Amino acid sequence: MNLNHLRVFHAIAAAGSITAAARTLQVSQPAVSKQLSDLEGALGTHLVDRLPRGVRLTTAGRVLAEHAARIFGVEQTAEVELAALLGVRRGQLSLGASTTIGSYLVPRVFGAFRRLHPALRLELEIGNTATIHDLVRQQVVELGLTEGFVTDDDLTTKVFDQDEMVAIAAPGDPVLARTPLTTKELLALPLLMRERGSGTREVIEAAFAKKRLVVEPVMSLGSTEALKNAVAAGLGIAIVSRLAVELELVGGSLVAIEVSDLVIRRALHLVELRGKSRSPAASRFVELLGQSRPKPR
């Protein structure tokens, strides 16, 4: 059976007439009629009854039409799936992530993503939450990953997991001899924080506001690494993502401060432009993100 002849017959069965099938296939009506006749000759049976207006499938025609629909349905599915696969294999994916996620979580996901799709270019913009929201809105990046709250109606947000915050001090800091501390005792210490606009700072301030306490840092710094270095130098204490200090806590270069009446967990958000469809590469990244997400301790 000639597959081109079958495709013509499939178009006739779907359209209900040779003339309409010719328009669909963008070929002449005589060409469609000839291919139908050739197919009927090869099969040794009539597939349609010619009527004054259109055609009617014979019993054999109805059987063949069902098989043709399945065959070309599989063909269409294969084309869609291959197009999606090639969409992941080629091109680039641009992401924006707030500082903690971009520095400590995204590299893990990028590693898995690159192993699966080595030809795809990955671009990562790192900034505070406010900056990343702007980049998503302006379509500079396709996906944003942030810890802070989303208040813009142009953006959609979905929580993909939670992160735990931990208070840290330098080894040998006298405060460690007095633990566990209360929240008020913690606030009496020299507190170092991220800059305004940081999702980390927003979450910390919100947690203290629930206790009707105001946070007044002695120093604001523009990155988590700067915070860690300042704490290690003995300039004060800080509250940071546990993701950001896993290695330091294990190695002993920083120490967690136990606070008896304070637990801060924050949502990690996937941020997208409202109404915009994800590219195949972005969809695959989101799948891997769900598999590589951090676990609260």
pLDDT, tens digit, 9 for 90 and up, residues 253-280: 999 999 999 999 988 999 999 998 888 8
CB 265 within 8 Å of CB 162: yes
DSSP, collapsed to helix, strand or coil, labels residue 241 as strand
The correct answer on CATH 1.10.10.10 for the domain covering 3-87 is: yes
CB 99 within 8 Å of CB 223: yes
Domain with CATH 3.40.190.290 in the chain: 92-291
Predicted TM-score (pTM) of the model is 0.59
pLDDT at 293 over 70: no
Reported as a pLDDT band with limits 50, 70 and 90, residue 296 is very low
Q: What pLDDT, on a 0 to 100 scale, did the predictor assign at position 90?
A: 63
Beta-strand ranges (E) seen in the chain are 48-50, 55-57, 92-98, 121-127, 143-146, 155-169, 191-194, 219-221, 237-241, 255-257, 265-273
Question: Quick one: tokens of 284?
Answer: 């695959």
Helix or strand holding residue 297 (H, E):
none
Domain with CATH 1.10.10.10 in the chain: 3-87
pLDDT in tens, 196-211: 888 788 889 999 999 9
CA 191 to chain centre: 34
The residue count for the chain = 297
Reported as a pLDDT band with limits 50, 70 and 90, residue 88 is low
The correct answer on CATH 3.40.190.290 for the domain covering 92-291 is: yes
How are the residues of the chain apportioned to helix, strand and coil, as percentages rounded to the nearest 5? 50, 20, 30
Question: Quick one: tokens of 282?
Answer: 């972005």
Any idea what the Cα angle at residue 180 is, between residues 178 and 186, rounded to 5°?
80
Cα separation, 19 vs 32, whole angstroms: 8
Cα separation, 24 vs 7, whole angstroms: 11
Q: What pLDDT, on a 0 to 100 scale, did the predictor assign at position 89?
A: 62
Question: Quick one: tokens of 296?
Answer: 């609260």
